Amino acid sequence: MARKLAFDKTLFAAGIGLTLFGLVMIFSASAPLAIANYKNPYHFLMRQILACVIGLVGMAIAMHLDHRKLLSRPVMFTTLLLSTLLLAGVLFADRTHQVHRWIKLGPIQVQPSEIAKIALILYLASMLARREDRINDWKTTLLPVGVVVGQMALLVYLEPDLGTATLYVLLAGLLLFLAGLRWGYVAAAGGAGLMGFVMLILAAPYRLRRIAAFMNPDDDPLGAGFQVRQSILAVASGGLQGTSLGESRQKLFFLPEPHTDFIFSVVSEELGLLGSAAVIALFGILFWRGVKAAAGAPDRGGYYLAMGLTLLLVLQAMINIGVALGCLPTKGVPLPFLSYGGSSLVVNLFALGLLLNVSQHSA
């Protein structure tokens, strides 16, 4: 099928480089918390290494799959159905941190919303490739896409996880735009989406507090504004070269979740502007090579698959970094390859494998 060893080595290096760097930073960011809670500084690191091994196996498998078969109706709809059932099932699982986001399988926790990201992209790529000539037809294209994306976003919102639900909608909107959606539909959908987003924020007092804290974190420095203030302080403390690896002060129980949502803040504090710029540059390379793979794809399904995967990884990075820098309201969107979380890392590495798969066929 694919030409041997013809995958994009620059894309591969960027993804693996981010993954290995993520392991280093997870150990640095999580060691104090791991000692305090588990008496073992390697607790989070070892779990992430296990997820990394599983993810690398998944990446290798994804690189050798026929992406055209993945986009076939039987495979695509089966994947979509299973992921939807998991999203519905997690709502009946035990609450963790006051939310329904994980299904526990013994010592392992699976996050269905991460798996659903791949299923959603497979569905969109398959649908848009088959109906590209009818992209603006309400009955055959826009309504089916709206129903599928809407139901998946609703299930994730009910966990509750507004950040990931918004990501689903953004992915669908961008891929529809790339497929040739009319500007009138883009404007209408954007306006409706903005109104819906505002209504969802107004419906939950804690989201209102987050928005208020984002606008002025100093109004409630020990409450809603605490996370963003500590994150900005960590970033500002790093300067040009940082405090040096392992020497972050904000991770010492000042910065909440330093190894997950705010790991970029720890990177900025310990490695400074140079280290954080290097991370951003690697995501820039990933975007560049992902778009190149999509542009050279041998079929339209491969094009939309590669663009969807590229946007998935880069949008998450932009949102996470934006939150860490105080440019966006606080959202629980992980930084791909770097944030602690087994489901996220496995899915991101599988996505990288699929992207490398398409790159093997690029002209």
Contact 316, 333 (CB under 8 A): yes
Within 8 A by CB and 6+ apart from 20, the residues are none
Residue ranges with strand state E in the chain: 103-105, 108-110
Q: How far apart are CA 50 and CA 346, in angstroms?
A: 10
Cα distances from 269 to residues 223, 281, 296, in angstroms, run 22, 17, 39
Output the CA angle 310-314-317, nearest 5 degrees.
Answer: 155
CA distance 120 to 76: 9
Which segments within 33-190 are labelled E, that is strand? 103-105, 108-110
Give the separation between CA 28 and CA 314, rounded to whole angstroms. 24
Output the six-digit token pair for 269: 């504090």
Q: Which parts of the chain register pLDDT below 70?
A: 1-5, 95-99, 212-214, 217-225, 363
Give me the pLDDT at residue 223, please. 63
Residue 160 preceded by cis peptide, ω within 30: yes
